[in-house]
Amino acid sequence: MSGQNFSKKRQMILDTIKSSHTHPSAKWVYDTLKEQVPDLSLGTVYRNINLFKEQGLVVAVANVDGEERIDGDTSAHAHFVCKECGKVFDIPEDIITIRSESCPMEGFSTESAVLTYFGKCNFCTHNANIKEA
């Protein structure tokens, strides 16, 4: 496998994750890629996502309705999870500098941190207003 230890499918899985802005689940990656790559199996997607997580190429950002959602953007940023539609949004605002400064507890070594807001997103709030009107 020469230098880069990436098979064709592995690379496509990573590309799909990195180029998506949906903070996808394994199933989403599978369904999306399946169109291009008909002989793809869900197990492979799971195996590769686990690999990417170990390698730090991908981060688990939330568990929405029982599905783990991942982010190919590993730069420090927070997320907003809509309880209504289940979408996960990036929060561009940089609250993260504040929290990464803070060392949580003596003797505990922090590797990563996740800051997630839960609530109702822009679109779902708007929809609710339309219904009420």
Partner DNA sequence: ATTGTTGCAAAAATTTTGCATTATC
Partner DNA sequence: GATAATGCAAAATTTTTGCAACAAT
Query: Rule CB under 8 A: which residues touch its own copies?
Result: 63, 68, 78, 80, 82-83, 89, 91, 93, 95, 98-99, 102, 104-122, 125-126
* 91 binds, options DNA, its own copies, none, Cβ within 5 to 8 A by partner type: its own copies
Tokens 């949580």 locate to 104
For residues 94 and 77, give the distance between their C-alpha atoms in angstroms, rounded to a whole number: 7
Total count of residues recorded for the chain? 133
CB of 6 to DNA, least distance (A): 7
* 114 binds, options DNA, its own copies, none, Cβ within 5 to 8 A by partner type: its own copies
Which residues pair with residue 82 across a beta bridge? 119
Run of H or E including 73? none
Binding site for DNA (CB under 7 A): 1-2, 5, 7-10, 13, 25-27, 37, 39-44, 46-48, 50, 63, 65-68
Structure tokens at 122: 């822009």
CB of 125 to its own copies, least distance (A): 6
Tokens 């996502």 locate to 49
